[in-house]
Each structure stands twice: as structure tokens, then as C-alpha cells.
A and B are shown apart, each in its own frame.
Chain A
Amino acid sequence: MANTVVETSPPAGHGDDPNRRDFIHIVAATAAVGGVVAFAWPLIDEMNPSADVLALSSIEFDLSKVTVGQQVVVKWQGKPVFVRHRTPKEIAEAVHDDHAPMKDPATDASRHKPGKPEWLIVIGVCTHLGCVPNFGLGDYGGWLCPCHGSVYDTAGRIRKGPAPLNLFLPDYTFLSDTKIKVG
């Protein structure tokens, strides 16, 4: 592209309007930024759970394995889930305390599915700092967390100790009287 003529100034009549001249550069810069963002999005989204992980995001569980007064621990999405078959005494004690003073007030009815009070299903991770509470220990016969002494009752509600919230309830549905799907 060797030019033999040295141009001094653009010929008259060409728009030398700074607004018009800068516009193309603004468009180019904006398009470049847009392109970079569009390229960056998949690189960020790939860290989200992949399809095979999502496929395991729900599990089915057979309740007939859990005898009255016992709990079974099931692994769901990498966390323990307590499936507790409550005795009538445990249910009564929980209902009795529905309006007792507690850090995270909740009725027993809000903690189980309607018509199925004997099944208490909670995520077995202490809401304080994440340890797994021990079954049946503590003043209320619910759970006792060995790490810092949080005490949960038979509805999984926090009654004593440093934990701020009740044990979390996972999403679950009854597929039949003896089968649940968690997640």
C-alpha cells in the first residue's frame, strides 16, 4: 500500500464531525466487549453442575426399611438426610412444645407432610457449623450435635445451643405410602 502522495488534510466535504468519526470506534469497542462477555459466559457456566450430576439430584427411598423409633441416614446430593420413623410419644412431645419459646419457632405440623406425622425427614447437617448431629441424644430425645452441643427436639427444631435455625427440610414427595422421592 505504498502511497506516493502525502495527504495533508482530508478533502473538503468529508464529514469531519467528531461525533460521527468517534461513533464507529464506540461501536467497535462495544462489540468487542460484547464478544468477550459472550465468550466468557460458557467458561463460567461450565462450572455449574454437569448433566450427569443433575441426573443424580433426586433419589428414591423405600420407607419400609425404617422400623418405628429408628432413623436411617441416606446420602442425597452429597449430604446426609435423616429419615426418622417417630413413635407416637415423640410426636406428642413435639406437638406439645409447638408454642414453647425457641430460637426458630415452627409448629410440628409444618415439619412433616400432612397425614404423615410419623415420618420426619430432615437434612442431617447442624445449622451452626455443619457437623452431623447424633440420633436420640440430648434433652428432648431428638438430636445432639457433638461439635458444640446444639440440641434439637423430635421435630428437628433447635432448642438449646449455638445453632441459629432448625434442621433444614429437603424437598420430598410421597410416591406411595412406602416410597419417597427426595429432591
Chain B
Amino acid sequence: MLRKTTFIAASVGLVLAAMGLGAPAMAATTQAELKSVNWSFEGPFGKFNQEQLQRGYKVYHDVCSACHSMNLLSYRNLADKGGPFYSDKYPNPNESPYAKAIAMDFMVPDIDTDTGDAITRPATPSDHFKAPFANEYAAKAANGGSAPPDLSLMAKAREGGPRYIYSILTGFADAPAGLMVPPGKYYNPYFPGDLTSFWNGPGKAPTGGFISMPPPLTPDRVTFDDGTKATVAEEAWDVAAFLAWAAEPHQEERKQTGFAVLIYLLLFSGVLYASYRTIWRKISH
């Protein structure tokens, strides 16, 4: 009787919880369902594809870095194990010629120790990625009042992560007739927003919201060194994968360690269970 009641109660609770806890709805904010894409790093066996990360870095460098900083990354991270420019020949990322070569192209602010003046010098692998703007106020001023967010953690800072990034970048659409688009904003069905007060047309307001970023990707905007055709979808896919790596560079190591730990724990539980049964064999309980 207890078992049956518990089972029913638990199932009811779980079903109701599953109904709701998956995606807490926001009052009147709408967002189109995110597009589905395959990621090589998805799932417990997922791994980053190094070529994709290199292409993604190129998209970030050529397109996004003009406005978006990535302050939590250093040039040496690009040559870290699992990163876009890692090579077995250079296990120490600080020695990697790839990291040095990429860093050298950037002039970063520094102070001349002899005179105390502010100067710029070529970056080294230990430097953080060069930011496009000196500070947040400069970023806001140059972008119509909205500072472009830092991208270091974007793949973890939004519901849906890389799927969200991919959907936004490939999802810019013409505003439907009857939608009043404020100057400096762009309609994107995948950007969460409430458009009811901007809608003059029939029926319900369209899903989505206004993003301050103009569509950044166009076909062949970037030339990939490995010759991959640079469609908007490809560029978006690659940069989203790169951002997923940037948000969590240790992802592969995490999953590999997880396997070892789970296998150990399963075996250990088995051994402990056998030990438990052996000890309790003679007791009536």
C-alpha cells in the first residue's frame, strides 16, 4: 500500500515538475524555438573539432572582435590542450610559435618603464585578448548606447548556449509589416523580447525581440584557410563552436575525468555491496 501510494505521489509530482521546471516561462517575453544543430562536443563523448575551432577563431577575429571583447582569454589559451592551435610538438602553450605569432599581430597598451609614458607594444602569449574599446563607456558610446557584451562566457551565459548563438546569427529576419522597428535596432525572432507595444498589425505580436547588433555575417565575409565554403550557416556554426570552447576550455578533460570517476565509483559500489552482504549474511534483519 505504501509502495503504491508513494509511486503514484512521486509520479504525479515528477510529471508536474517536468512540465514546468524545464523552461520557466517569462511573463510576456517570447522567443522562437532555438534551431537544432549538431555539435561535435555534445554529449558525454563529445570532443571539439580543432579545424572547426580554427575557423571559428577566424570568424571571431575578422568579424566579431571589432566590437566584442573576450577579456577572460589570453593568447596562450589558443595553444592550450584542446584549443584551436594546440600542437603535440609544443605542449607548453607559452612556447608555442602559433600563439606567439598570433599574439604578435596585436598592439596592446603598456607603460614604458624608463619614462612612465603610456605606449603600445606587440602582445605576447601571456597577454589577454586585446579589447576593441578602452573601457565600457567607450564601448557604449561607439555603439549607440549599448555596449556589445564580452563573449568569453557567452556560450554559458544564455539559455541554449551555442544553439542560441547559432540561432541568433542565422536568424535575422525582415521585420513583418506592422512592426515598428526603433532606429539602431534589428528584429530577430530568436532574441527574447516583448514586441506587443511595437506591433500595429493584426493578431498577436511576432515572437522575438529587438537586438542592437546588425546582422554581422554575410556569405564569404571570412575566407577560411582550409577552403571550407563560408556560408552564413557555416560561419555561425564555427564561431558558436569556438565560443563554446572559449566558455569552457576544459570541457573535454571534464568529460574524460568523469568517465574514469564513474567507472571507479560503479566498481567501488559493487565491491562495497559485496562487502556489505558478506558482513550482514548472518544477521536476520
Contacts and interface: CB of A to CB of B under 8 A. Distances in A.
Given A24-B274, A31-B271, A55 B126 contact: yes
Interface stretch (A5-13, A87-95, A138-146, A171-179): A5-13
Contact of A24 (B80, B93, B275): B275
B125 A55 contact: yes
Q: Interface majority SS on B: helix, strand, loop or mixed? A: helix
A22 to B, nearest CB: 9
Give the bracket for the number of chain B residues in contact with chain A: 20 to 34
B4 interface: no
A3 B126 contact: no
A56 B271 CA distance: 47
Given A25-B275, A28-B271, A65 B284 contact: no
Nearest to A58: B94
Q: Interface majority SS on A: helix, strand, loop or mixed? A: helix
Contact of B94 (A10, A38, A55): A55
Contacts of A21: 278
Nearest to A14: B281
Nearest to B127: A55
Interface in B250-285: 264, 267-268, 271-272, 274-275, 278-279, 281-282, 284-285
Highest count of chain A CB atoms <10 Å: which of B94, B275, B279, B281: B275
Contacts of B284: 3, 5-7
B55 interface: no
A28 B94 contact: no
Interface of A: 1-3, 5-7, 9-10, 21, 24-25, 27-28, 31-32, 35, 38, 51-52, 54-58, 65
